[in-house]
Amino acid sequence: LSSDQYSLVKSTWDQVSHNEVDILYAIFKAYPDIQAKFPQFNGKDLDSVKGTPDFALHATRIVSFIGELVTLTSSEANAPAVQSTVEAFAVRHHNRGVTKDQFNEFRTAFFSYISSHSTWGDNAAAAWNQAIDNIYGIAFTKL
Ligand code: HEM
C-alpha cells in the first residue's frame, strides 16, 4: 500500500475497531453459512447468541487479527511477517472446511459494514480493496 492508502485504511479501521460484536453480527446476519461453521453457534438463533461471552470472545479475536494485519501493513519491511501470519491463518481455516467463497462473503459483509460506519469515499474503498486483495492473494494459496 502507498502511505496515503495505509492512512485511509488505518483511519477508517480506527472508527470501527471498537464495534467488534456488531461487525461479527453483521457478517453472520448476511451469511448464515459462515455462522454454521462455528460449532458453538451453529443452529442457534443469531440474536440470542449475540450477547454471550463466547460471541464477544470470537468477535474480539477477529478484530484483533484484522488490527494486527493493519499494523503490519504500515511497512513494506513487514511483508515476510504478513506472508507467514496469513498463510498459517489460512491453513487453520482450510482445516475447518472454510472455503474461498466464504472468504469472499466475509469480504462483502465487512466492506458493507466499514463503508457505512466510517468516513468513506472512493479512495478509502480503493485502499481497502488493495489491502484485502493482498491478504487474500496469500490466503487463497492455502484455502
Ligand atoms: C477462528 C470460521 C473467516 C479470523 C475461527 C474458528 C472458526 C472460524 C470455526 C474457530 C473458532 C473457535 O474455535 O472458537 C470462519 C469462517 C470464515 C472465517 C467460516 C468464513 C469467511 C475469518 C476471517 C478472519 C477470521 C476473514 C479475519 C480476518 C479468525 C481468528 C480466529 C478464527 C483470528 C482465531 C484464531 C484461529 O484459530 O485461527 N474461524 N472464519 N476468520 N477466525 Fe475465522
Nearest to 53 by CA among 66, 68, 37, 41: 41
Please, where are the H alpha helices in 3-139?
Answer: 3-16, 20-30, 32-35, 46-49, 53-72, 79-95, 100-116, 122-139
Q: 72-109: per-residue pLDDT in tens?
A: 999 999 999 999 999 999 999 999 999 999 999 999 99
Task: Please state the ipTM of this predicted complex.
Answer: 0.96
User: In angstroms, rounded to a whole number, what is the distance separating the alpha carbons of residues 72 and 56?
Assistant: 24
Q: What residues in the chain have per-residue pLDDT under 50?
A: none
Overall number of domains in the chain: 1
The CATH number of the domain holding residue 51 is: 1.10.490.10
Q: What residue owns the CA closest to ligand 1's atom 27?
A: 62
Exposure of 122 by Cβ count < 10 A (0-12 exposed, 13-18 middle, 19+ buried)? exposed
Q: What residue owns the CA closest to ligand 1's atom 6?
A: 38
- The pLDDT of residue 54: 98
Q: Which domain holds residue 28?
A: 3-139
Mutate to test the pocket of ligand 1, among 16, 27, 60, 62 (most ligand atoms within 8 A of CB): 62
- The pLDDT of residue 95: 98
- The pLDDT of residue 98: 98
Give the N- to C-terminal CA distance of the chain in Å, as an integer. 24
Q: Return the C-alpha cell found at 57.
A: 470472545
CA of 3 to the centre of ligand 1 (A): 29
User: In angstroms, rounded to a whole number, what is the distance separating the alpha carbons of residues 121 and 26?
Assistant: 21
